[in-house]
Chains A and B, each alone.
Chain A
């Protein structure tokens, strides 16, 4: 078996045992990228020599007897929203084209400490606003299962890179579903940790009360290893939780759900959902029951209002956060001809540097926060947020985890929803409640839809700081389905 098809856990063990070097593993993946990137276009920045330099440093550290974690020497694709000292960081926006941060994000720093080797920076919807990666100012990324379809978003470069075997692992950020939805539509595992469980320091802010870094992998154990590697308290992030990281790796190895109580969210399903998605979802629920879980139906009526509440809260926070792009201290500056005022230059720069979705959300947020509308929109959305959290709390009194489809449909066609923001927003219907409440949630592959032979994701939601439960259930589902399929779902994907 070639190096690119190994799991991250296997690669880490091989490197630790000296069977293969970090440089050889990095080269195998860089070669794969040369081969498939023209088709997939998952990356925005790749600098082969920068990557090999990191790999050589890890090999040196290992040879010197330094004890690194289980992922030392394993390559990773890094979402281009995390600051990296040695690579450009753009958030897929023209306003940050060519920017090289003078510091590393905490997630980046922890990847380096654990000896992970960064292959490059992956594409995303500009500032993580979108569900298809079509909002990137640079290029469109394609779904490895069908190159005419989107890889999800906003972390679509990261999902595509892992699904295309360009990297065994990648990072993402999840503000409304931006890890779980791309994972679901590319047939891989994606995890949104508990809000505050992973650091936002050096993550370019979109909606600060929602943004959560998390892992992508081709299997649940690899996702857990990466989750553990970069999570945990960070004094540089004031909303970081000062508590131990839930024992996610142990839970992924355990994969036993006998006696667990699983709640099926009644409000997710029915009209607007693709038949093939619902069929695989219902089979997954039956599977959970056959594995010894007690399945009950749970009602969370306000989840239906999560989408409108999110599209007030997230744009409001975005309109405030993106005010920092003022053309003064870093990034693009347009129209500074000596005659124009700072304010004119600012407005010209922002008009030239931001794409349409970002402009839409800045204006929507500005509207929702303006006097006269504040109470009816932003204020009411914050109250709905409380109601949704309470419904989660009540549900988790009865059950250990909640499940739903991750997305209402499989991957849609490139261009299909590009001019219809409301249709695009529906992709995050099932994932948004966990962002508003801050609890942990995972997407794990549960089969292919009959209509289009494209992947379907099962969403597993767990209480705040009970991230381990997502891994326990996800690993049990994965184990049972892989024995049924005779291997991972990705082996059904067409070769590139």
Chain B
């Protein structure tokens, strides 16, 4: 039995905001199935009582002084934008997407 179905891969692509073609979905379904089967080996380590590590080092939150510092100018912030209007990022419509 496969670890992941083609429909699941299509769902993942939607969640990932990747507009994939049918051929790509077939291709990735096969590859992801093999990869998931292989990474499932993590289950072999007995670790029920072990705490998870999200990080290599023990970390605590770092604060900095609340001081005004120089930041990007509007021109700099917009310098790489695909579309600009009135000193703002111009984006495609975001409302009324789902009728």
* A interface residue numbers (CB < 8 A to B): 99-103, 195-196, 209-210, 235, 238-239, 241, 302, 305, 308-309, 311-312, 319, 323, 326-333, 336, 338, 340-348, 350-351, 354, 359-360, 362-364, 366-368, 370, 376-377, 379-387, 389, 421-422, 435-439, 464
Interface class of chain A by DSSP: helix
Query: Which of B34, B45, B54 makes the CB contact (< 8 A) with A305?
Result: B45
Chain B residue contacts of A338, Cβ below 8 A: 92
Q: In the complex the two chains form, is A312's CB within 8 Å of B94's CB?
A: no
With the chains together, A380 CA to B48 CA distance in Å?
A: 9
With the chains together, A344 CA to B96 CA distance in Å?
A: 13
Q: In the complex the two chains form, is A354's CB within 8 Å of B42's CB?
A: no
Known: A330-B80, A367-B32, A380-B42. A103 touches B72 (CB 8 A): yes
Q: In the complex the two chains form, is B92's CB within 8 Å of A336's CB?
A: yes
Q: In the complex the two chains form, is B16's CB within 8 Å of A342's CB?
A: no
With the chains together, A191 CA to B89 CA distance in Å?
A: 40
Q: In the complex the two chains form, is A308's CB within 8 Å of B52's CB?
A: no
Chain B residue contacts of A340, Cβ below 8 A: 92
Known: A363-B28, A377-B42. A100 touches B17 (CB 8 A): no
Query: Which of B39, B53, B94, B97 makes the CB contact (< 8 A) with A382?
Result: B53
Query: Which of B13, B52, B89, B91 makes the CB contact (< 8 A) with A386?
Result: B52
Query: Which of A328, A336, A363, A389 makes the CB contact (< 8 A) with B53?
Result: A389
With the chains together, A311 CA to B32 CA distance in Å?
A: 11
Q: Which 8 A-B pairs have the closest CB atoms?
A: A438-B56, A382-B52, A330-B80, A333-B82, A383-B47, A102-B76, A347-B19, A308-B39
Query: Which of B13, B31, B45 makes the CB contact (< 8 A) with A384?
Result: B45
Q: In the complex the two chains form, is B18's CB within 8 Å of A329's CB?
A: no
With the chains together, A341 CA to B96 CA distance in Å?
A: 9
Q: In the complex the two chains form, is A341's CB within 8 Å of B97's CB?
A: yes
**Chain B 73-97, CB within 8 Å of chain A: the 1/0 string?**
0001101111100000101111001
Query: Which of B8, B47, B89 makes the CB contact (< 8 A) with A328?
Result: B89
Of B35, B36, B41, which is in contact with the most chain A CB atoms at under 10 Å from its CB? B35
Q: In the complex the two chains form, is B80's CB within 8 Å of A331's CB?
A: yes
Chain B residue contacts of A343, Cβ below 8 A: 17, 94, 97
Query: Which of A305, A329, A382, A389 makes the CB contact (< 8 A) with B89?
Result: A329
With the chains together, A459 CA to B72 CA distance in Å?
A: 42
Chain A residue contacts of B44, Cβ below 8 A: 305
With the chains together, A406 CA to B50 CA distance in Å?
A: 29
With the chains together, A99 CA to B62 CA distance in Å?
A: 30
With the chains together, A102 CA to B79 CA distance in Å?
A: 7
Chain B residue contacts of A379, Cβ below 8 A: 52
Known: A311-B39, A312-B39, A341-B92. A319 touches B47 (CB 8 A): no
Q: In the complex the two chains form, is B36's CB within 8 Å of A386's CB?
A: no
Q: In the complex the two chains form, is A421's CB within 8 Å of B35's CB?
A: yes
Chain A, Cβ-Cβ closest to B63: A238
Q: In the complex the two chains form, is A302's CB within 8 Å of B45's CB?
A: yes
Closest CB in chain A relative to B33 CB, distance in Å: 11
With the chains together, A308 CA to B92 CA distance in Å?
A: 40
Q: In the complex the two chains form, is A359's CB within 8 Å of B52's CB?
A: no
Chain B, Cβ-Cβ closest to A326: B17
Of A308, A338, A347, which is in contact with the most chain B CB atoms at under 10 Å from its CB? A308
6 additional A-B pairs beyond A101-B80, A381-B42, beta carbons within 8 Å, are: A210-B56, A305-B45, A383-B51, A386-B47, A386-B53, A439-B56
Query: Which of A333, A364, A385, A386 makes the CB contact (< 8 A) with B32?
Result: A364
Chain A residue contacts of B45, Cβ below 8 A: 302, 305, 380, 383-384, 387
Closest CB in chain A relative to B90 CB, distance in Å: 9
Q: In the complex the two chains form, is B82's CB within 8 Å of A332's CB?
A: yes
Q: In the complex the two chains form, is A331's CB within 8 Å of B35's CB?
A: no
Q: In the complex the two chains form, is A330's CB within 8 Å of B35's CB?
A: no
Closest CB in chain A relative to B14 CB, distance in Å: 8
Query: Which of A362, A366, A377, A438 makes the CB contact (< 8 A) with B39?
Result: A377
